[in-house]
Amino acid sequence: MFFKLDSFALTGIDAIKISVEVHVSNGIPSFSIVGLADKAINESRQRVRAAIINSGFKFPAKRIIVNLSPADIRKEGAFYDLPIALAILSVSNQIDNSKKLTDKFVFIGELSLDGKVNTVKGIISMVEKSKEINKKYFLMPVKNASQASIIGDINIVTCSSLSDAAVLITDEEKIKKNIYKRTEEKLNLIDCIEKQSGDFRDINFQLKAKRAIEIAVTGMHNIMLIGPPGAGKTMLASRITTIMPQLSKEESIEVTKIYSLHKNFNGNLVMKRPFRNPHHTVTRIGLVGGGNIPKPGEISLAHRGVLFLDEFSQFNKTAIEDLRQPIENREITISRNNIFYTFPCNFMLVAATNPCSCGYYGDNKKKCSCTFREIKRYWESISGPIIDRIDMYVNVPKLNDNDFTKDMHNESSEQIKSRVFLNQEIQKKRFEGIDTKYNAEANLKFINGWIYEN
């Protein structure tokens, strides 16, 4: 006896349709899963068996083979617990599938031993793919529904347990009654602005650096802050996202798709610009992404936000050189077993470094102890093709002690953000009709043509 249900697998941030095929035959009782499944999927045999029994059903004492097709694509995670369990119940005639309602569904969900359905990662990518293949219903865990419904124009059916799901898929009237509907409050979730710590008002003086950062943010230009220890480079950089306009709905969905693959993802929609600040000891895989089953690195987690590399000269040179292509292409593609995983990484690079090894070259308050040769060698160690991709360099001098106590009536982040927003609106009009949003993305042909016309 054979039964099949549809589900999804993730390759990068994209979802692909997977068929969960179950064959039950007479013979020595066994339960095996094939189709390039990882350890979590193979462990689902125990979860599925316990969930079926604890939900009041009988687990067939027969030879059961589950195939996740296509078999040449590696699958990971506990996505397939629910479809495997429902397919086993259907093929063993414990669920009435005479109306073939399951053909209209895609299924996703992890099962607890007691039959409860737990949340899964990557749900937004799966919902987008479900729309693309024109499935009528998407059965998923209750806690995934709010995030999934951001996509819109798809019937999301929720279940909290295996027994609920088994009842739902036999009656279309019950299905329609369980279609998830967003409340007005939830619909406005995307418009909420999360408060961020820090404000440019906190920083006295450094007017030149503040102005340079404002210009860089407006055009999404990469920038390097150069100054002695204690000058405030990190403090300036940490406040950059506070002057960036909030994510649009489309950008928020893009960023959430990336974060949904991250182990610390909490399931909420990402609504603020990412700020990533990896330590200088970060590995190449940690920075650009990778692994046996590739996961996004820091450059992808900074998508639509800021990647801040403090102590830039201390980073592994090979890892820094790996940034060249992602900065140029605004995406990174990783190949594993002839499968290509693509992660977007359109970020603003902010680097901070000392002017020399001792940190005080050009400082008016403390004499530099480096020789000219040492200073030259220091800059040679961080120069190269990556330096060509940094658009702006700004000196951040160290302040006097009494400067910190002066009331400068500094501009707030909101005041600076308002100017950034107005200037980015001008850029939108300038690039209308072409696949460019910010000045940093404009190619030489467009720039020359625009200068000629204006």
The CATH-assigned architecture of domain 2-182 is: 2-Layer Sandwich (3.30)
Number of alpha carbons in the 13 Å side-chain half-sphere of residue 246: 14
Start and end residues for every CATH 3.30.230.10 domain found in the chain: 2-182
399-405 own/partner pairs: CB under 8 Å, 24+ apart: 399/204, 399/205, 399/206, 399/231, 399/232, 400/365, 403/204, 403/205, 404/204
- Predicted local confidence at residue 29, as pLDDT: 93
Start and end residues for every CATH 3.40.50.300 domain found in the chain: 200-452
Q: Which of 130, 126, 158, 127 is nearest to 142 (CA)?
A: 158
Number of alpha carbons in the 13 Å side-chain half-sphere of residue 98: 2
- Predicted local confidence at residue 46, as pLDDT: 94
- Predicted local confidence at residue 195, as pLDDT: 46
Between CA 276 and CA 290, with CA 351 as vertex, the angle to 5 degrees is 50
- Predicted local confidence at residue 403, as pLDDT: 59
Transcribe 102-125 into DSSP letters: GGGEEE--EE-TTSBEEP-S-HHH
C-alpha dist (Å) from residue 415 to 219, 422, 442: 17, 11, 27
The tens place of each residue's pLDDT in the chain, 454 residues long, gives 899 999 999 888 889 999 999 999 999 999 999 987 777 778 899 999 999 999 999 999 999 999 999 988 888 888 899 999 999 999 999 998 878 889 999 999 999 999 999 989 889 999 999 999 989 999 999 988 988 888 878 899 999 999 999 999 988 888 988 899 865 444 444 444 444 568 899 888 889 999 999 999 999 999 999 999 988 999 999 999 999 998 988 899 899 899 888 766 766 778 889 999 999 999 999 999 988 878 899 999 999 999 999 999 999 888 888 999 999 999 999 887 777 889 999 999 999 999 999 999 988 888 999 999 999 999 888 877 788 899 999 999 987 766 555 656 789 999 999 999 999 999 988 888 888 888 888 877 787 777 667 6
Beta carbons within 8 Å of 80's beta carbon, 6+ residues apart? 7, 18, 20, 41, 44, 68
SS3 358: coil
Which CATH superfamily does the domain covering 200-452 fall into?
Answer: P-loop containing nucleotide triphosphate hydrolases (3.40.50.300)
Task: Give the Cα separation of 160 and 246 in Å (integer).
Answer: 34
- Predicted local confidence at residue 100, as pLDDT: 86
What region does 153 belong to: left with phi over 0, alpha with psi -120 to 50, or beta?
A: left
pTM of the model: 0.85
- Predicted local confidence at residue 192, as pLDDT: 40
Task: Give the Cα separation of 397 and 308 in Å (integer).
Answer: 19
- Predicted local confidence at residue 202, as pLDDT: 87
- Predicted local confidence at residue 364, as pLDDT: 82
